């Protein structure tokens, strides 16, 4: 297995036109979740990705399993929970370009994910274990599952990749910091966005954010800057840190839907990293997958299908 | 029961001129996501409706029959809640009594966060097709409407000062939370106090309250305040504990009616406050074809009124048939029609809601009356020119 991730995948409902949810008579339906998006992105690039979670024994649970399997994501560790529903969320794309989400995920099957669900076999041979800061926000058992995933990753010698993915709707900045900082301290690769840096480090300064990430122990810290590109700082842990590497954004032909870009970036970056590419090349692929995501409606629909790696057998 | 004498009879419904509202309905309203003709798991697009057993009655009275109806419920103030409100407004329903939960988490009584700790009720309902049965997936376990409790509505203001002719609620809402039953009971007692006619559909949903003993205990507290009881024989058995004659898919309307008559006579003897008992009768050939009848029982005269059975009618969406039966009957009562007409209006409105998608009928009174006339004339459908 190249990458193992855990988190919540939900049914997503959104108006097909840029009108508010209050006015729309129709909604389109898809599935979405940061970690499952990442798994789909990596699978499309030819890597073996496993998604660990719980879904309800309901139409959306079936849908999630079916889409992930169709995308080539490993669902061996996806549990069907007969006692809780698959989470649902709504998103509206307003004419002013704003995106807002409304969570209907309380008590969802995925929020019941716990350390007991993480069988050591699921991590055997994993090269990267990727976590996001959304999962520990869902419930105490999910937070404990993240802790257990870190332990299991260490046991198998996997690299830990972490995206804080700060969601102001899920928690207060103080509570978020208390949970996210210890997890970030475990990460070998830190993938952060502008909002994450603000919430966690309280800074707008790029260099400061990258250095503080390295100070926490990460060997690579990446800052995703959307239309401004991306930058990274590597730290070999010995004499001195490398230069800050910057790449420009990969210009999308048009911006249709920015959601899913961050997860796509993570997938592209990790794909390059797994192939042993140079940091700059990893950033470039991340930026390209992110740009592809924003050109298309839907979180993962735009992710490129390019077999960078041959580790996933041809379907 | 001390309030027995005060429970209003259908003959003493207040005049329209004395009241701001013809009817107010207490219940939970959900956003319904309907996947057209694909089952929910594979649907890519869904259309939106709103519905809830109790509030569908208010919508029918308002949109179809032009009466002044309000819904009493709680919603979370997010765009899903506002979508529901917009649809209620489209049905002409007064939404000014809705209690809104803000999402500022400010610690006030009607407040929640943005994590979805409280939500608006939503459901995904596929209407079924042929041999595929209809299927509903509910997300209502954490709804705002469940949080409501006795004291949240100003009954003295609503029933005493503004005035309402009919109060309607039902067995789904009354059983949805420990506090909703107390709220429903409070509302019915206040209705009796202020001379408001009480209608209640004691339909039983095992998904809402799997424990029938608890359901019966609560419904038996409500029954002494009901003026118009809506319920089929399985409701009267599940919700109130009456033994009923066993029926099957093959039971004819006539055979079924004999058993039903026997049951409702016992109900009426136990609860002399109930002046009318009624229900729709439904036999399904498959998800698209049903036979449909209606019955109304006047308890004091021991008289049954029935609508002729409509046989093998193709339908679009079964949801809301019982609620529209109830609103048809209530509309006739509010418009001072005879009980003979009331059961016809109920049967007609009940089938018409099933001819169209969604939980409520978006048709006008003329269509209901035309359907009554069509049936009386022996059945055929003629083009209206």
Which residue is closest to B104 within chain A, CA to CA?
Answer: A169
Q: Chain B: give the shortest CA distance to residue A76, in Å.
A: 20
Looking at the partner chain, which of A26, A105, A107 has a beta carbon nearest the beta carbon of B48? Answer: A26
Cβ(A233)–Cβ(A242) under 8 Å?
yes
Confirm if A106 and B82 have CB atoms less than 8 A apart: no
| CB contact A16 to B (< 8 Å) | yes
**Do the Cβ atoms of A29 and B42 come within 8 Å?**
no
Helix (DSSP H) and strand (DSSP E) numbers for chain B? 11, 14
Instruction: Sort out which chain B residues have CB atoms less than 8 A from A90's CB and list them.
Output: 79-80
**Structural domain containing residue B219:** 7-26+54-71+150-376
The answer to whether the Cβ–Cβ distance between B41 and A62 falls below 8 Å is yes
- Chain A residue with the nearest C-alpha to that of B47: A26
A33 in a structural domain: yes
Are B359 and B323 spatial neighbours (Cβ–Cβ below 8 Å)? yes
Identify the contact set of chain B against chain A, taking CB-CB distances under 8 A: 33, 35, 39-48, 78-80, 82-83, 85-86, 114-117, 119, 122, 124, 135, 137, 139, 141-142
How many domains does chain B contain in total?
Answer: 1
> With an 8 Å Cβ cutoff, are A27 and B119 in contact?
no
pLDDT of residue A237: 63
Instruction: Tell me the chain A residues in contact with residue B90 when contact means C-beta distances shorter than 8 Å.
Output: none
Interface contact B117-A92, CB threshold 8 A: no
Cβ separation A85–B137 shorter than 8 A? yes
Q: How far is A120 from chain B (nearest CA, A)?
A: 31
According to the model, what pLDDT value does residue B382 have?
Answer: 57
DSSP secondary structure string for all residues of B349-363: HHHHHHHSSSSS---
Contacts of A92 in chain B (CB under 8 A): 79
Alpha helices by DSSP H, chain A: 34-44, 59-70, 134-138, 140-156, 173-184, 194-201, 206-215, 261-274, 279-294
The edge-to-edge listing of strands for the beta sheet with B276-286 is: B69-72, B21-26, B164-170, B197-201, B228-230, B276-286, B289-298, B303-314
d(CA B76, CA A9): 24
Number of domains in chain A: 1
Residues sharing a CB contact under 8 Å with residue B292, sequence separation 6 or more, in sequence order:
B280, B281, B282, B309, B310, B313, B321, B347, B350, B351, B354
**Whether A81 is catalytic:** no
Look at residue A93 in the predicted model and tell me its pLDDT: 85
Domain that holds residue A214: 3-294
Chain B residues in contact with A134 (beta carbon < 8 A): none
CA distance A301 to A5: 19
The catalytic position among A163, A263, A266, A299 is A263
Residues 76-95 of A with CB under 8 A from B: 85, 88, 90, 92
Residues of chain B in contact with residue A85, where contact means CB-CB under 8 angstroms, are: 137, 139
**Which chain A residues have a beta carbon less than 8 Å from that of B124?**
59
The structure tokens listed for A185 are 């301290």
Of B48, B86, B119, the CB nearest to A104: B119
* Dist CA B270 CA B264 (whole Å): 10
How many whole angstroms separate alpha carbon A213 and alpha carbon A65?
35
Q: Specify the CATH number for the domain of residue B224.
A: 3.40.1190.20
Cα atoms in the 13 Å half-sphere on the side-chain side of B154 = 10
Domain assignment present for residue B372? The answer is yes
- The CATH number of the domain holding residue A193 is 3.40.1190.20
Mark the ranges of chain A whose per-residue pLDDT is less than 70.
237-240, 310-315
Nearest CA among B127, B121, B122 for reference residue B357: B127
Instruction: Establish if A24 touches chain B: CB-CB under 8 angstroms.
Output: yes
Contact A92 B79 (CB under 8 A): yes
User: CB–CB of A265/A303 below 8 Å?
Assistant: no
Do residue A27 and residue B42 have CB atoms under 8 angstroms apart?
Answer: no
- Beta carbons of A102 and A22 less than 8 angstroms apart: no
In this prediction, residue B362 carries a pLDDT of 83
Task: Return per-residue pLDDT of chain B as tens, 385 residues.
Answer: 444 448 999 999 999 999 999 999 999 999 999 999 999 999 999 999 999 999 999 999 999 999 999 999 999 999 999 999 999 999 999 999 999 999 999 999 999 999 889 999 999 999 998 999 999 999 999 999 999 999 999 999 999 999 999 999 999 999 999 999 999 999 999 999 999 999 999 989 888 889 999 999 999 999 999 999 999 999 999 999 999 988 888 899 999 999 999 999 999 999 999 999 999 999 998 889 999 999 999 999 999 999 999 999 999 998 999 999 999 999 999 999 999 999 999 999 999 999 998 989 889 999 999 999 998 887 666 555 5
Using CA atoms, how far residue A225 sits from A33, A193, A230, A255, A270, in Å, is 21, 6, 5, 15, 17
Q: Residues of B with CB below 8 A from A13's CB?
A: 33, 46
Q: Interior CA angle at A143 toward A58 and A186, to 5°? A: 130
Q: B77 in a domain, yes or no?
A: no
> Hey, what are B251's tokens?
């039971």
The C-alpha torsion from A266 through A272 and A275 to A277, rounded to 10°, is -140
Q: Which residues pair with A203 in a beta bridge?
A: none
Closest to B158 (Cα-Cα) out of B74, B70, B73:
B70
State the pairing for strand pair A78-81/A88-93.
unpaired
Distance from C-alpha of A189 to C-alpha of A272, rounded to nearest angstrom: 13
String of DSSP letters for B168-209: EEEHHHHTSSHHHHHHHHHHHHHHHHTT-EEEEE----TTT-
Q: Work out the angle at residue B70's Cα, subtended by the Cα atoms of residues B343 and B88, and round it to the nearest 5 degrees.
A: 95
Sequential DSSP letters for A204-259: --HHHHHHHHHHTT-SEEEEE-GGG-EEEEE--SSS---PPEEE-----S--S--T
């Amino acid at each position: 297995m190249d990458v193992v991730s855990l988190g919540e995948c939900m049914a997503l409902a959104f108006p097909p036109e840029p009108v508010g949810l209050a006015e729309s008579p129709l909604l389109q339906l898809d599935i979405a979740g940061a970690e499952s998006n990442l798994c789909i992105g990596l699978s499309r690039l030819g890597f073996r990705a496993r998604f660990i979670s719980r879904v309800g024994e309901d139409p959306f649970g079936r849908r999630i399993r079916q889409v992930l399997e169709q995308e080539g994501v490993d669902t061996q560790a996806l549990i069907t929970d007969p006692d809780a529903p698959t989470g649902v969320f709504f998103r509206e794309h307003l004419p002013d370009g704003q995106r807002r989400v409304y969570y209907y995920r309380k008590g969802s099957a995925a929020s019941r994910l716990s350390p007991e669900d993480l069988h050591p076999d699921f991590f055997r041979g994993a090269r990267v274990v990727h976590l996001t800061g959304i999962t520990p926000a869902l419930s105490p058992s999910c937070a404990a599952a993240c802790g257990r995933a870190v332990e299991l990753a260490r046991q198998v010698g996997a690299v830990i990749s972490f995206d804080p993915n700060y969601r102001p709707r899920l928690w207060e900045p103080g509570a978020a910091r208390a949970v996210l900082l210890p997890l970030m301290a475990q990460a070998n690769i830190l993938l952060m966005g502008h909002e994450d840096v603000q919430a966690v480090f309280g800074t707008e300064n790029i260099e400061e954010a990258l250095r503080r990430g390295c100070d926490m122990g990460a060997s690579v810290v990446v800052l995703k800057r959307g239309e401004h590109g991306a930058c990274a700082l590597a730290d070999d842990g010995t004499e001195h840190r490398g230069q800050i590497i910057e790449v420009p954004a990969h210009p999308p032909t048009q911006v249709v839907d920015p959601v899913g870009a961050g997860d796509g970036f993570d997938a592209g970056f990790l794909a390059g990293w797994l192939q042993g590419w140079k940091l700059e090349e990893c950033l470039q692929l991340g930026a390209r997958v992110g740009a592809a995501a924003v050109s298309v409606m839907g979180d993962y629909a735009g992710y490129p299908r390019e077999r960078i790696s041959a580790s996933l057998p041809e379907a | 029961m001390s309030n027995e004498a005060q429970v209003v009879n259908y003959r003493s419904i207040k005049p329209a001129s004395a009241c701001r509202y013809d009817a107010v309905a207490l219940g939970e309203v959900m956003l319904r996501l309907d996947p057209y003709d694909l089952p929910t798991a594979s649907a890519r697009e869904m259309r939106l409706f709103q519905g809830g057993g109790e509030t569908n009655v208010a919508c029918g009275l308002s949109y179809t029959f032009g009466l002044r109806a309000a819904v009493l419920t709680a919603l979370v103030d997010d765009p899903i809640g506002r979508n529901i409100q917009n649809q209620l407004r489209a049905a002409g329903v007064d939404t000014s009594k809705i209690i809104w939960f803000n999402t500022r988490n400010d610690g006030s009584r009607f407040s929640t966060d943005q994590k979805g700790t409280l939500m608006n009720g939503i459901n995904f309902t596929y209407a079924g097709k042929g041999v595929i049965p209809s299927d509903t997936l509910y997300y209502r376990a954490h709804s705002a409407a469940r949080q409501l409790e006795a004291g949240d509505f100003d009954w003295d203001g609503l029933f005493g000062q503004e005035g309402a002719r009919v109060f309607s609620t039902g067995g789904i809402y009354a059983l949805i939370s420990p506090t909703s039953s107390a709220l429903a009971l409070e509302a019915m007692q206040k209705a009796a106090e202020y001379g408001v006619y009480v209608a209640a559909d004691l339909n039983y949903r095992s998904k809402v309250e799997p424990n029938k003993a608890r359901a019966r205990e609560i419904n038996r507290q409500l029954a002494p305040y009901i003026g118009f009881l809506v319920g089929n024989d399985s409701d009267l058995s599940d919700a109130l504990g009456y033994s009923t004659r066993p029926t099957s898919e093959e039971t004819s309307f006539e055979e079924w009616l004999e058993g039903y008559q026997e049951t409702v006579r016992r109900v009426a003897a136990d609860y002399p406050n109930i002046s009318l008992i009624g229900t729709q009768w439904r036999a399904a050939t498959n998800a698209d074809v049903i036979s449909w009848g209606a019955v109304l029982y006047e308890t004091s005269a021991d008289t049954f009124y029935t609508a002729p059975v409509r046989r093998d009618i193709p339908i679009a969406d079964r949801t809301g048939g019982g609620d529209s039966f109830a609103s048809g009957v209530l509309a006739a009562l509010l418009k001072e029609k005879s009980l003979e007409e009331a059961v016809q209006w109920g049967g007609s409105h009940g089938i018409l809601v099933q001819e169209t998608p969604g939980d409520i009928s978006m048709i006008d009174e003329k269509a209901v009356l035309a359907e009554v006339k069509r049936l009386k004339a022996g059945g055929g459908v003629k083009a209206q020119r």
